[in-house]
Amino acid sequence: MLVKDPAKKERLPELDLFRAFAILGVIHVHATSYAAGVQAVDSPYYYWFNLVNIFFKFGTPCFIFLSSFVLFYNYLGRPAGKELMARFYKRRLLYILVPYTAASLCYYIVVHMYSGAESFFNPNVHVSSHLIWLAQDLATGTAYTHLYFVFINLQFYLMFPLFLLLFQKFPRLIAWALPAGFLIQWGFAVWNKYDLQLVNKASYAPTYMSYYLLGAFLAYYFDYIKGWLTRAYRQQTSRQKGLTAALWIGWLTAALVHVQLYHNGRAYGKWVNSLWYEALWNIHTFLSAFVLLQVSFWVYRKASLAVLSFLSRLGALSFAIYLLHPIFLLIYRRFRYTLNPASIPYLVWVWAGVPVSLFLAWGVAAFTFRWIPGAPFLLGSRPGDSRKSRLELLKQKEKSAAV
């Protein structure tokens, strides 16, 4: 059994809400990274900083899952011919690789303006050195801390036709996608720990293979899980209620143990074997993909039009916001001055980095798409018209209410 012709597939507007929740997760992690890392270890509010920083780590893995899900959902039923693959790669080249290159260049310049011995203002550093360093950053996704996500997606785009052909030719293999994903991911994790010892392991696709193949698995079996996603808890069957309860309990347990393990290490120096952190991160964020899917479908059905419009627009602009928000966090952090990490103002200042970086990035992205020629080459695919999106949401809400 292969999925139906994607031209007849139902559009899933709930996925924009999923993107919105994922980008909020990413920004919470980045906004608290300094406080949770080194700045506020002795603060009485440190548990809160660490909790937010670790709890919201689902953002990037969920984005990777969603990228895979959307690709397989739309392409599994299409013959993977040369013309289709040519269009696929042309679009990714223009709207992913080009923005990634532009963002890497901009962040490289910003970092090296204030990097001491490697600064642009150091007369002893030759231009050729900067060209080599930039090329290395581009090849590893390390020009700035968040760009590894785009670099990982580029790796998955290279693999996608191989997985697509494999699953189309041997559909029964999709049932083994999840064990295969975990096997690849954990084989790489153990290999890296005891042999490779790559410092930037997070920049390589095998680190996220369970999420990627989860996307393929759920895209193939989506018709079977859609009823579970769309029904309120009270309307679910006994089996579905048990699955929902097990999911949420397992997710919260894994997340809170993950938080506590990092708190013990960061606050008290009680670190354990690194594979425990790897395991808890994997369980926590893997289950987060299911939780965010369920929440997205529930919120889409129950929320007001204003809330849906906000979240849908945030989701539509999420890639551009992802690229832009760190620069605003960097600027924002320069205004800490003498705030004491043990004080309430510092606590407020740290969390305020979330809305500040989010809405500044959102505003710049919206302005760029509206007024700057060639904006998709800087920030990715152009989102749909917000007024049309709002009208579509209204129609969908009316349709859902009539059912």
Residues 61, 185 contacting (CB under 8 angstroms):
no
pLDDT digits over 323-348, tens only?
A: 999 999 999 998 877 889 999 999 99
**DSSP per-residue codes, 315-336:** HHTHHHHHHHHHHHHHHHGGG-
For residue 399, is pLDDT > 80?
A: no
Q: What is the pLDDT of residue 385?
A: 67
pLDDT digits over 110-123, tens only?
A: 998 877 767 777 77
pLDDT digits over 371-388, tens only?
A: 999 999 999 999 876 666
- When mean pLDDT is compared across 6-10, 194-198, 346-350, 357-361, the lowest value belongs to 6-10
Range among 77-81, 209-213, 385-389 rated most confident: 209-213
pLDDT digits over 30-68, tens only?
A: 999 999 988 899 999 999 999 999 999 999 999 999 999
Q: Which residue has the tokens 């690849």?
A: 184
Percent of the chain with pLDDT over 90: 76
Residues 56, 28 contacting (CB under 8 angstroms):
yes
CA–CA dist 43, 308 (Å, integer): 37
Q: Which residue has the tokens 């290490």?
A: 265
CA–CA dist 349, 345 (Å, integer): 6
Q: Which residue has the tokens 């013309």?
A: 83
Computed on alpha carbons and rounded to an integer, the radius of gyration of the chain in Å comes to 22
Q: What is the pLDDT of residue 8?
A: 56
79/74: higher pLDDT: 74
CA–CA dist 44, 337 (Å, integer): 20
Q: What is the pLDDT of residue 134?
A: 93
Of the CA atoms within 13 Å of residue 78, those in its CB half-sphere come to: 18
CA–CA dist 264, 254 (Å, integer): 15
Q: What's the DSSP call for residue 95?
A: I
Q: Which residue has the tokens 């900083």?
A: 49
Mean pLDDT, range 290-295, rounded to an integer = 97
Phi/psi zone of residue 155: left (φ > 0), alpha (ψ -120 to 50 degrees), beta? alpha
Mean pLDDT, range 75-83, rounded to an integer = 83
For residue 183, is pLDDT > 70?
A: yes
Q: What is the pLDDT of residue 3?
A: 45
Three-class DSSP category at 348: helix
Q: What is the pLDDT of residue 391?
A: 62
CA–CA dist 164, 139 (Å, integer): 25
Residues 354, 35 contacting (CB under 8 angstroms):
no
Q: What is the pLDDT of residue 386?
A: 63
pTM: 0.93
CA–CA dist 312, 368 (Å, integer): 19
SS3 string of 205-259?
A: HHHHHHHHHHHHHHHHCHHHHHHHHHCCHHHCCHHHHHHHHHHHHHHHHHHHHHH
Mean pLDDT over all residues of the chain? 91
pLDDT digits over 228-268, tens only?
A: 998 888 899 999 999 999 999 999 999 999 999 999 999 99
- When mean pLDDT is compared across 90-94, 132-136, 213-217, the lowest value belongs to 90-94
Q: What is the pLDDT of residue 396?
A: 66
For residue 362, is pLDDT > 90?
A: yes
- The 10 Å Cβ neighbour count of residue 210 is 25
Q: What is the pLDDT of residue 126?
A: 84
pLDDT band at 201 (very low <50, low <70, confident <90, very high): very high
CA–CA dist 15, 1 (Å, integer): 24
